[in-house]
Structure 1
Amino acid sequence: MERYTFSYPATANHGLRRALAGVVGSGDLEVLLEPAPSGDTLVTVSTALAGTEQIWRRVLERVFAETAWPPVRLDIHDFGASPGVIRLRLEQALAASRERGGNDERC
């Protein structure tokens, strides 16, 4: 199991609540979103795939360059998800946190 940590500047206002998207089993991933009081967006990735840090870095850089994110903590548990699934789960977690008020609802 490898663990990576990334930080990105927050580019949007607060107003999010906790949310959960995805399931870690069967080749997928889980994203846990938690609002941060201020500062940057902090992403922690735990993955079963060794040597994937550069892939994660590139996918996350694209996501955070294209979408405005408030300061949040994202805990990602990966079991071999593709870059497309990574983007989808991040977008689902952000949408669930905004639209349904979070409350740890599963997407």
Structure 2
Amino acid sequence: MEQITLSFPASRSLSGRALAGVVGSGDMEVLFTADQGQTLTVEITTSVDNSTGRWNALFDRLSKLNGLPSGLMTIHDFGATPGVARIRIEQVFEEVSHA
């Protein structure tokens, strides 16, 4: 297992918490807690070694599309593909934006 911590500048603020996926099912799990800061901090636990570049690319893409909210995101990826990762991340952002 590899632990990765990334930080990205936030361009928007949300409030609340959200969860997408279920860690016990072998599905990717994403937990997000919004705050009023300037940064999105992402803590990733992954079974895929040397995947920091893949995660940076995914969050760079998300940042360019909609901007990133400030807060703390915790990801347990279970080797999920970038497509599944993007869906789960967008799900928590959507859920918190309606909180």
Q: TM-score, normalised by structure 2?
A: 0.89
Structure 1 unmatched ranges of 5 or more: 102-107
How much has 1:26 moved relative to structure 2? 5.2
Partner letter of residue 73 of structure 2?
L
Distance across 1 between alignment mates of 2:34 and 2:16? 6
In structure 2, the residue matched to 1:20 is 19
Structure 2 unmatched ranges of 5 or more: none
Distance across 1 between alignment mates of 2:31 and 2:89? 9
Q: Moved runs in structure 1, 4+ residues, more than 4 A?
A: none
Distance across 1 between alignment mates of 2:48 and 2:91? 23
Tell me if the contact between 2:15 and 2:35 (Cα under 8 Å) persists in the aligned partners: no
Higher helix proportion (structure 1 or 2): 2
How much has 1:25 moved relative to structure 2? 4.7
In structure 2, the residue matched to 1:66 is 65
Kindly provide the CA deviation profile for residues 3-60 of structure 1, in whole angstroms up to 9, marking residues without a partner as x: 1111111101x33211101123555311100012312111111101212121111112
| Percent of residue pairs identical | 38
Distance across 1 between alignment mates of 2:46 and 2:79? 7
In structure 2, the residue matched to 1:9 is 9
Tell me if the contact between 1:28 and 1:80 (Cα under 8 Å) persists in the aligned partners: no
Instruction: Tell me how large the CA RMSD over aligned residues is.
Output: 1.5
Q: TM-score, normalised by structure 1?
A: 0.83
Count residues with an aligned counterpart.
Answer: 99
